[in-house]
Amino acid sequence: MSLSSIPSDWIFGLAGGLLIGLSAAILLLGNARILGASGILGSIVEGSEPDAATERLWFLGALIGVPGIAVLIFGASETNVSGDLPLLVLAGVLVGLGTRLANGCTSGHGVCGMSRFSWRSIVSTLVYLAAGFVVMFVARHILGVL
Amino acid sequence: MRNLVSAISGGLFGLGLLISGMTDTAKVQGWLDLFGQWDPTLAFVLGGAILPMLLAWRIAARRKVSAAGDAFPALPEPLIDGRLLTGSILFGAGWALAGFCPGPAIASVTWGGLGGVVFLIAMIGGMLLSTAVGKRRLAAA
């Protein structure tokens, strides 16, 4: 298998993944914080942990600003987000509620928790992946709505 | 200094999400479509993200405190309760329906159009709902 036969999406996926891991490592070793997107946003909107609010706002500002500027410079990136607004409302509420109940999402449990072999994170990741596979199968292949 | 570290981390996180394809909901839904046209890209994203963190946790175990002088977060008790399982199921369901998890939904809000904004607002609503659920449980206990 030659290098050029590897799909470029996989290479971009790996490169972007390494950047995600690097960003989490910087936050851990620099500030002793776990990079969890749902926890960082959730604690801000809920007003919990006010002592950490300022640094979390800096994190969120850069999280929105830096890729936003990159897209402005290098051209549009497609999110392919659904045009079905009621579906997006339902999905958004499920993601917001679910990640706060589970105390983590793809970044907090999937990346930071699994890499330290936390049982809670391994179980959570396996369960949300399984739920995602099942809901995708039902919605796309049985109901035909996605 | 803590704010600068946070901003550098947030910016790199956003770039990583953009480059990896995590902000493309069609790609994420392709990963979750295990029984259809399965797209394995996210395995490379997750694998790539875990590698630096494996190293970081080893460094953390040796150094005891962060550069800012704080103790590292303790490993949580391995408590697998209904809250963890229910939350994970709800999250997985919403992730499949929209193709967004929290990080990419935040990162792409400036170019994701109306749908991206609607998802983000609904997600914040869901987060606030979780505190209401928590309070009711406390009141009941």
Query: DSSP 3-state assignment of B117?
Result: helix
**Torsion angle (degrees, nearest 10) of CA A61, A66, A68, A74:** 170
Q: Report in angstroms the alpha-carbon separations of B72 from A22, A31, B30, B66, B107.
A: 17, 9, 36, 7, 26
The C-alpha of A83 sits at a distance from chain B's nearest C-alpha, in angstroms, of 6
What's the rounded mean pLDDT across residues A57-69? 98
**pLDDT > 70: what percent of chain A?**
98
Residue environment code for A113-134, b if the CB has 16+ CB neighbours within 10 A, otherwise e:
bbbbebebbbbbbebbbebbbb
Mean pLDDT computed over B6-18: 98
Contacts of B66 in chain A (CB under 8 A): 28-32
User: What pLDDT does B132 receive?
Assistant: 86
The structure tokens listed for A95 are 């993601």
- pLDDT tens digits along B46-77: 999 999 999 999 999 999 899 989 999 999 88
Q: Do A131 and B76 touch (CB under 8 A)?
A: no
d(C-alpha A114, C-alpha B112), whole Å: 29
What are residue B114's phi and psi, to 5 degrees? -60, -45
Residue B22 is which amino acid?
M
Chain A residues touching residue B80 (CB < 8 angstroms): 119-120, 123
* pLDDT tens readout for residues A90-144: 999 999 999 999 999 999 999 999 999 999 999 999 999 999 999 999 999 999 9
Of the candidates B19, B123, B128, which has its C-beta nearest A46's C-beta?
B128
Residue of chain B minimizing CA distance to A112: B53
The pLDDT value recorded for residue B122 is 98
- The residue type of B50 is I
Tell me the chain B residues in contact with residue A35 when contact means C-beta distances shorter than 8 Å. 9, 13
B137 falls in which pLDDT band (50, 70, 90)?
low
Q: How far apart are CA B88 and CA B73, in angstroms?
A: 22
Q: Which domain holds residue B54?
A: 2-140
Establish how many alpha carbons lie within 13 A of residue A22's alpha carbon, considering only the half-sphere containing its beta carbon. 14
Residues of B in contact with A134 (CB under 8 A): 92
Measured CA angle at B81 (ends B44, A42), to 5 deg: 65
Distance from CA of B28 to the nearest CA of A (A): 10
Chain B residues inside the 8 Å CB shell of A6: none
Confidence of residue A5 (pLDDT cuts 50, 70, 90): confident
B91-117 pLDDT, tens digit per residue, is 999 999 999 999 999 999 999 999 999
In the prediction, which pLDDT does A75 show?
86
* Contact in structure between B26 and B99 (CB atoms under 8 Å): yes
Q: Do A15 and B19 touch (CB under 8 A)?
A: yes
Burial label for A75, CB within 10 Å (0-12, 13-18, 19+), is exposed
Number of domains in chain A: 1
Could you say which of A10, A12, A95 has the minimum Cβ distance to residue B94? A95
- Note whether B10 contacts A63, CB cutoff 8 Å: yes
Q: What percent of chain B has pLDDT over 90?
A: 88
CB B96 within 8 A of CB A129: no
Which token pair is B139? 């009141």
Average pLDDT over residues B10-31: 98
Query: Cα separations (Å) of B3 from A33, A65, B7, B65?
Result: 12, 15, 6, 18
Say yes or no for a CB contact (<8 Å) between A116 and B124.
no
Residue from A11, A93, A136 nearest B121 by CA: A93
- A–B: how many Cβ contacts below 8 A? 471
Whether the per-residue pLDDT at A1 is higher than 60: the answer is no
Q: How far apart are the C-alpha atoms of B87 and B130, rounded to whole Å?
A: 10
Total domains, chain B: 1
Asked if B72 contacts A28 with a C-beta cutoff of 8 angstroms, the reply is: yes
d(CA B48, CA B129): 33
Residue among A62, A85, A112 whose CB faces B11 most closely: A62
- Nearest residue on chain A to B125, judged by CA atoms? A93
Neighbouring CB atoms inside 10 A of A86's CB total 10
Q: How confident is the model at residue A6 (pLDDT cuts 50, 70, 90)?
A: confident
What pLDDT was estimated at residue A3?
A: 67
Mind giving me the DSSP string for A81-126? --S-HHHHHHHHHHHHHHHHHTT--IIIIIIIIGGGT-HHHHHHHH
Measured between CB atoms, which of B94, B98, B106 is closest to A64?
B106
CB contact under 8 A, B51 and A18: yes
Q: Domain of A135? A: 3-142
